[in-house]
Amino acid sequence: MRRGDTNGTRSRGFTLVELMAVVATIGILAAIALPNFQIWIDHQRMNAAAGDIAGTLQLARLKAVNTSKDVYIDFAPVNGASDRFFTAYVDTDGNGAYDAGEELVDDVAMDATLGGREGVMLRPTVFYGVPAGVTRDPLNQVIVADGIDFGAGQNDVRFRRNGTANSGFVFLRNARDEAYAVEVNAVGKVRVWRRVQGAWR
């Protein structure tokens, strides 16, 4: 028996060929998993963006009831353009428009600024609108071009002091042609829809 042997066997390290085989196997597994991981991330961003909007709408409704003032969520606050941004405010003077100094809905984390307005930016890779070929909303009405419609082409939701609202939809899409719709009905109820296999569910 040689010195250092135990039970007649010698311990040895990995050969270069074995190490290269392990690295190649890890590389192949990563190449298979990475695209699926990116799909999962994009889906989670869409789901979170729909949740952000639905949560803001529900908080705005509560604020309207609690303050006995109209509360607006504006999805195109800067020059009427919907730039992946929205804001929520209490219409203190009742004129139906945001004025400097009006209170923002304080329970909403408004961590972005656009055109001097504080608000919420949609998650990365999420946009207003629907994928090409999607033309009808969950109620079978025609979807407007910018994907935001709260009646008569309005880009904002108004929650009244009794909790009712102007009904409509905000549509969300991503580059993978996923689509979500956030609905507000006339009594102020909020619902999130997802387009699955060609149908809203």
Question: Would 4 be classed as within a structural domain?
Answer: no
Q: Which of 97, 63, 66 is nearest to 80 (CA)?
A: 97
Q: What is the C-alpha R_g of the chain?
A: 26
- Written as six digits, the tokens of 155 are 């880009």
φ, ψ at 117 (rounded to 5°): -105, 135
What is residue 116's predicted lDDT score, i.e. its pLDDT? 86
Whether the CB-CB separation of 163 and 180 falls below 8 Å is answered with no
**Total domain count for the chain?**
1
User: Is 194 domain-assigned?
Assistant: yes
pLDDT in the model for residue 131: 95
Q: 161, 177, 191, 173: which is closest to 53 by C-alpha?
A: 191
Measured in degrees and rounded to the nearest 5, phi and psi for residue 56 equal -65, -40
What CATH number is attached to the domain comprising 64? 3.55.40.10
Report yes or no on 8 lying in a domain.
Answer: no
- DSSP-assigned letter for residue 69: S
User: Which of these, 171, 150, 141, 53, lies nearest to 105 by C-alpha position?
Assistant: 53
Its domain, for residue 31, covers 16-200
Helix runs in the chain, H state only: 16-67
In a domain, 42, yes or no: yes
Q: How far apart are CA 176 and CA 163, in angstroms?
A: 36
> Is residue 29 assigned to a domain?
yes
Q: Contact 89/105 with Cβ under 8 angstroms?
A: yes
C-alpha 40/C-alpha 59 separation (Å) is 28
Digitized pLDDT (tens) for each residue of the chain, 201 residues in all: 455 555 656 667 788 888 888 888 888 887 787 778 889 999 999 999 999 999 999 999 999 999 999 999 999 877 766 679 999 999 999 999 888 889 999 888 899 998 888 999 999 999 999 999 999 999 999 999 889 999 887 899 999 999 999 999 999 999 899 999 999 999 999 999 999 999 999
Q: CB within 8 A of 90, min separation 6: which ones? A: 63, 64, 67, 69, 70, 71, 102, 103, 104, 105
Tell me what pLDDT residue 1 has. Answer: 46
pLDDT at residue 3 in the model: 53
User: What is the structure's pLDDT at 74?
Assistant: 94
Query: Does the residue 2 lie in any domain?
Result: no
- In a domain, residue 9? The reply is no
Asked if the structure places residue 163 within a domain, the reply is yes
